[in-house]
Each structure stands twice: as structure tokens, then as C-alpha cells.
Amino acid sequence: MKKRDFKDSLYEGIAGITKAFSNANRLEIIDLLANGEKTVEQIALQTAISISNASQHLKALKTSRLVKSRRDGQFIWYSLNGVKVMSAWQALRDLAMEHAPDVQNTLQQFRVSLGNAQSVSFQREYDNTSVFFLDVRPVDEFAAGHLPNAQSIPVDELPSRMAELPRDKTIITYCRGPFCSLADEAVQLLIANGFKAMRLEEGFLDLTLLSRS
């Protein structure tokens, strides 16, 4: 193999993987699957696309070996094909948040519209006597992994379960990361009901990867 053919082959192979990332729906699916495996029906529901479209996107991701699947009875479950896929998505997301003004502005405008203009970053020195971590993701994602001592209350159950929350602590909500709106919705609801609440900027997977670095 000639040197030029060698280099072309390598970079074309890498470009093939990047093509799998070059679709907004597929990026959201990767972000979703980072929090635990899902069926195509769950993915379609949570990304607001049709089952047919979700299947096509999953096929493209699987062809690029970014996603893997397993069959359990009548259902096929999809998950990310290794932690490096999540790391690649995280790096791309963070690059956009730093260098893409449209991404920055959209995120800020959304949070301002909900009255949640500020967020907090995770700090190991948080005093558990003054803060209360609330995981507002679906219960299956909480079961797949969560912050120590966090309480699971999915955001759609929050209105009926507020009695379970302490009023003498700051409630810090978290979900799938900076692009996830569940924590913002929870903060808005909690503040409206007299709680002191803030959202955590990072998601559980972000903190897991950070601890490994």
C-alpha cells in the first residue's frame, strides 16, 4: 500500500464514523442511550420522532459500531458500544458549548424562560446536611447508575411526591446533562412550591467520566 493510499484509507474510515454523528436526531439518541439501554419504542417516544425514523437512525449508529443491541423476547434493546462513544459525544457537546454561539444562546434563553438562568457544577465538598440531590430521570436510568445518596423522583411524579423532600435543604436536581430539560422543569416546579432549588449542570454520566479522568 502506498503512503497516500494508507493515509486516505485511515482518514476516510474516521470520516465514516463522524458521519454517524452528523445528524441531530442521532446525537440526541446517543445522549439518551448514555443513560441506559432503551428499546426503539422508548427512544422514539423520548426523542419525539417516529418509530420508523428511530429504527433508521439506530441502524446507522449500529453500522458505525457506535451502538449495539440485544434481544430480550419480543423487544430489542439498544445501548452505546462502550464508554468511548459517550466520551466522544461529551467532547463534541462541550466543544459546541464553548465555540458555537447558537448553542450557547439557545441554552441560556431556554433556562431564562423557565426562570433557571443559573446552574451549579458538582463539587465533592458539598455538605450533605445542607443539600439534597434529586435525580429526576426515569427510574430505569436511576437504577442503571446515580449519585450516592441521591433520591429518585421522576419529574412527572414530582407534583404528587413533594412531601418526600426536605424543606430545610437546597434541592439540587440533575438529569442527563446540560441539554436535558428534566432538571430545569423540576427546579421550576420546586421553586413555585416554596423550595430552594438549583439544577446541576452535569449529568450522572458526565461525573462518572470525570472521575475516571
Residues 97-119: tens digit of each pLDDT = 999 999 989 988 888 887 765 67
Q: 127 and 206 share a domain?
A: yes
Paired strand residues for 120:
200
- Residue ranges in the chain assigned as alpha helix (H): 3-21, 24-33, 40-47, 51-63, 83-99, 101-113, 139-144, 182-192, 204-212
CATH number at residue 129: 3.40.250.10
115 or 22, which is more confident: 22
Note whether residue 104 is domain-resident.
no
Note whether residue 16 is domain-resident.
yes
pLDDT for 126: 67
Q: 158 and 207 share a domain?
A: yes
pLDDT for 91: 92
CATH number at residue 12: 1.10.10.10
Range of the domain at 156: 116-212
Active site residue 175: yes
- The residue with cell 433557571 is 116
The lowest-confidence range among 33-47, 66-80, 126-140 is 126-140
pLDDT for 157: 97
Q: 59 and 127 share a domain?
A: no
Q: 125 and 46 share a domain?
A: no
Residues 146/152, Cβ–Cβ less than 8 Å: yes
Note whether residue 8 is domain-resident.
yes
Residue 94 has pLDDT above 70, yes or no: yes
3-state secondary structure of 67: strand
pLDDT for 117: 57
Q: State the total domains in the chain.
A: 2
Nearest to 43 by CA among 61, 22, 28: 28
Catalytic residue among 175, 180, 182, 197: 175
Residue 212 has pLDDT above 60, yes or no: no
